[in-house]
Structure 1
Amino acid sequence: MLGYLLRRLIYAVPVAIGVSLICFLLVHIAPGDPLVAVMPIDATAEQEAEMRAVYGFDKPLPVQFGIWLGNAVQGDLGKSIATGRPVGAEVARAVANTLLLAAAASVIGFPLGLLLGFMAGYLNNTAWDRAITALAIGGVSTPNYWLGMVLVIVFSVSLGWLPSMGAGPGGSGDWSWDWAHVRHLILPAVTLAVVPMGIVMRTTRALVADILDQDFVQALEAKGMTRAGILRHVARNAAPTALSVIGLQLGYLLGGSILIETVFNWPGSGYLLSVAILQRDLPMLQGTILVLAMFFVALNLIVDLLQSVIDPRISRA
């Protein structure tokens, strides 16, 4: 187990370096000059050159990447071109809000997806199976930004039950564990949970239905094992694949929430990304994308380790 852990950690290093390189290059190949937002219209060539030197844009791309990566390893992601504030502090606050939203969506989506998927697989080819499958397909097929707007119209505008914007009263971005703030979390969390719930539901349903048709299940039944004991074996065999899908969906919750956060004006990393894109704020874009990508790499590593704990055959392979 220790050897497997060390191998996975070693494999994660080049992946992290490759991801950081892609993050750096993607924002540089986009058209436009990021300094346009902070330079006056009548800026002279000397002023433009001075501004480029301040932000390090006067150096070749390989040198810029080396400096940026070295500073990022030390926790320094630079300063925002648009606001002049440290990128690290802005990203830390936004990512914390996104993690809160993703955690709430996970609590809603994953248990329901696993439970309903297991039920559909166990009740294969019944009315319950068809109803749950239709629900899963509807969840996967529904655009989450459209669903978010519908929920706002119904529960915020028409009924007035839940707020539609911000993370706190008055559109505040500061979070506190009280009902006034939790109310702001409900609609974006439900909206964000729908697609992962549908994917987990369909995957679990297919896994359980396939495992129940295998020979070892019939052998357990022939030996007289109870239905509860058989279901435990089915759950243990389905767990590694289901866990892998959940890990991927956690990455989606972290990185794919940009539309949801924009619809609900949630002050997370997705909203920060959308603002940085509109402002051509390269340091903010690079820092946000890098932090989210590192979270995704870490999630994959954790999922691999959990899979090896559940199924030792993975680590032996």
Structure 2
Amino acid sequence: MLFYLIRRFIYAIPIALSVGLVCFMLVHIAPGDPINAIVPADAPLELVEQIRRDYGLDQPLPIQFGIWLAKVSVGDFGSSLATGRTVWSDLSVAIGNTLRLALTAALIGFVLGSILGALAGSFQGTFIDKIAVSLAVAGVSVPHYWLGMVLVVIFSVQLPWLPAMGAGPGGSADWSWDWEHIQHLILPAVTLSVIPMGIVTRTVRGIVAEILNQDFIQTLRGKGLTGRGVFWHVVKNAAPNTIAVMGLQLGYLMGGSILVETVFSWPGTGLLLNNAIFQRDLPVLQATILVLAMFFVALNLLVDLVQTALDPRIKRG
């Protein structure tokens, strides 16, 4: 197990370097000059060049990448071009808010998806199966940003039960686990949970249906094993593949929440990334994309380890 862990970690290093290179290059090949976003149109040329030198933007791209990579490796993401604050001061708060939203959405989506998928796989062709499949198809088909706006209209405008903006009272970005703050979490979490709910439902349905048709299940039933015992064997066999799908979906929730966070003005990495795009704030863009990508890489590594612990055949393979 230790050797497998070391090998997977070594495999992740070139992936991380490649992701860093892609993050750096993507924000540089986009049109526009980031300096124009922080200086007035009539600024003297000398001032513009001085700011460019201060941020190292006057260097060739390979040198800029080397300097940026050296700083990032020690946790220095630089300062925001738009606000002047350190990137990490804003990014750390945004990461916490996005992680809180993603984990809540994952809990809702994974629990509902697992229940619906298990019921659909156990009762194939029945009315329960059709309802579960219909909900799954609707979940992966409805655009979540559109669903978010519909929920705002219903539960924040017509039925003023839940707030529609911010992470706390008055649009605050601060968080505490009380009812006033939890109310702000409900609508974006439900909106974000719809897609993983649909994907997990369809995945679990297919896995459960396949396992129930295998010969060892019939043997267990022939030996007189009760429904609870058979269910436990189905869960053990379905867990590795299901966890792999859930891990990928959690990564997508972290990186794909930009539209939902923008709709609800949720102060997470999605909203931070959206503002940085419009402000052409390169340090914030690079840091946010890199951190989200590294989270995805780390999550894949964790999923591999959990799969190996649940199914030793993966390690032997």
In the superposition, the TM-score normalised over structure 1's length comes to: 0.98
Are residues 1:29 and 2:29 paired? yes
Amino acid at match of 2:274: S
For 1:5, the equivalent position in structure 2 comes to 5
Residues 1-317 of structure 1 correspond to what in structure 2 (within 5 A)?
Answer: 1-317=1-317
CA–CA distance in structure 1, aligned partners of residues 185 and 199 of structure 2? 22
Q: Which amino acid aligns with 1:179?
A: W
Distance 1:88 1:171 in 2: 21
Q: Deviation of residue 111 (structure 1)? A: 1.0
SS at match of 2:134: helix
SS in 2 for 1:245: helix
Please state whether the residue corresponding to 1:57 is helix, strand or coil.
coil
Deviation at 1:88, TM superposition (A): 1.0
Which string of whole-angstrom CA distances, capped at 9 and with x for unpartnered residues, describes residues 129-183 of structure 1?
A: 0111001101110110010011101011011100000000111111111111111
The secondary structure found in structure 1 opposite 2:161 is: coil
In the alignment, the residues of structure 1 paired with residue 312 and residue 261 of structure 2 have an alpha-carbon distance, to the nearest angstrom, of 39
Aligned-residue sequence identity (percent) comes to 62
Distance (Å, rounded) in 1 between the aligned partners of 2:40 and 2:163 = 40
Which amino acid in structure 1 is aligned with residue 279 of structure 2? Q
Count of residue pairs the alignment pairs up: 317
Cα deviation for residue 95 of structure 1 reads 0.7
Write the distance in 2 (CA, Å) between the matches of 1:125 and 1:36: 61
Q: Give the deviation of 1:308 after TM superposition.
A: 0.4
Could you tell me how far apart the structure 1 residues matched to 2:151 and 2:43 are?
47
Q: Residue 223 of structure 1: CA displacement? A: 2.4
How far 1:219 moved relative to its partner? Answer: 2.1
What is the distance in 2 between the residues matched to 1:43 and 1:167?
38
For 2:166 and 2:40, how far apart are their aligned partners in 1? 33
Return structure 1 stretches of 4+ with deviation > 6 angstroms: none
Displacement after TM superposition at 1:216 (Å) = 1.7
Measure, in 2, the Cα distance between the counterparts of 1:268 and 1:233: 40
Moved more, 40-49 or 188-197: 40-49
Question: Unaligned stretches of 5+ in structure 2?
Answer: none
In structure 1, list runs of 5 or more residues that go unmatched.
Answer: none
Q: Counterparts of 1:160 and 1:38 in 2: how far apart (Å)?
A: 39
Q: Equivalents in 1 of 2:122, 2:156: separation in Å?
A: 38
